[in-house]
Amino acid sequence: MSKSDTFFIRAQVITDVSSAEARQLTEIDLGSYVNLGLKQSTLLKVNSVQIQYCDPKGLPATVKEAPGAGEFGSAFCAAAITTKQVPSSMAADAMPQLSDDATMFTASIVSSNGNTAAAGDQGITTSDMDLAPQHLSDGYLVGVDTLYLYGASDDKWAEIVHVNVLLECQLVSATQANAVALALSQQ
């Protein structure tokens, strides 16, 4: 594979809807792509990130039925990709934010159904709180062996929520210029 060819890395984290807002983790191994050798180093450049929120069958996840007449049920799910594990001091119900140097991507959805929706009815879903996918004009350089995919959702979903990501990547040789850019941006 030429270093200019793009390829895809896929990963999934399954949120725990029975434990409200508990952050879940999946590690994405980059050891076969990133090489920080003494003579020549290879970095991973992420050009875009696509995200999917779905149930175990790949269908849109549904919100539990609204509690009563005139009431609405709503649920959220959030995802983040980081270059370092979150510190143990971070609360279990907190998610990495883009203001953190190690965070390269965040996304979230909110879904609701009104009192007219039956159980299992999709209702309204929006990603307006955190827009995804992200297309990065010059890519996001990664020089670590592992990325960390986090997912969290509340207990208002009628089923387990899977968070699937697709990273469009390419390999690039490390230069002094991109090594400085890498150091300034994250690690």
Mean pLDDT of the residues in the chain: 83
pLDDT of residue 9: 97
Asked if residue 73 has pLDDT above 90, the reply is no
Asked if residue 3 has pLDDT above 70, the reply is no
pLDDT of residue 176: 76
Q: Which domain holds residue 55?
A: 7-32+50-135+146-167
Contacts of 87 (CB under 8 A, 6+ apart): none
When pLDDT is averaged across residues 151-172 and rounded to a whole number, the result is 92
pLDDT of residue 114: 61
84 in a domain, yes or no? yes
Contacts of 187 (CB under 8 A, 6+ apart): 83, 84, 101, 102, 143, 144
16 in a domain, yes or no? yes
Asked if residue 69 has pLDDT above 70, the reply is no
13 in a domain, yes or no? yes
When pLDDT is averaged across residues 105-115 and rounded to a whole number, the result is 80
Sign of CA dihedral 133, 166, 102, 135: negative
pLDDT tens digits for 82-106?
999 999 899 988 999 988 989 999 9
175 in a domain, yes or no? no
176 in a domain, yes or no? no
Conformation bin of residue 145: beta by default, left when phi > 0, alpha when psi is -120 to 50? alpha
141 in a domain, yes or no? no
82 in a domain, yes or no? yes
- Cα gap 127→46, rounded to integer Å: 22
Asked if residue 44 has pLDDT above 90, the reply is yes
- Give all strands of the β-sheet with 146-153 in edge-to-edge order: 24-29, 146-153, 73-82, 103-113, 124-130
∠ at Cα 66 (61, 63), nearest 5°? Answer: 5
102 in a domain, yes or no? yes
Closest CA to 17 of 69, 50, 53, 67: 53
- Cα gap 53→77, rounded to integer Å: 8
Considering the entire predicted model, what is its pTM?
0.86
Asked if residue 129 has pLDDT above 60, the reply is no
If one counts the domains in the chain, the total is 1
Task: Please give the structure tokens belonging to residue 48.
Answer: 């875009």
- Cα gap 165→147, rounded to integer Å: 12
pLDDT of residue 32: 92
When pLDDT is averaged across residues 37-45 and rounded to a whole number, the result is 84
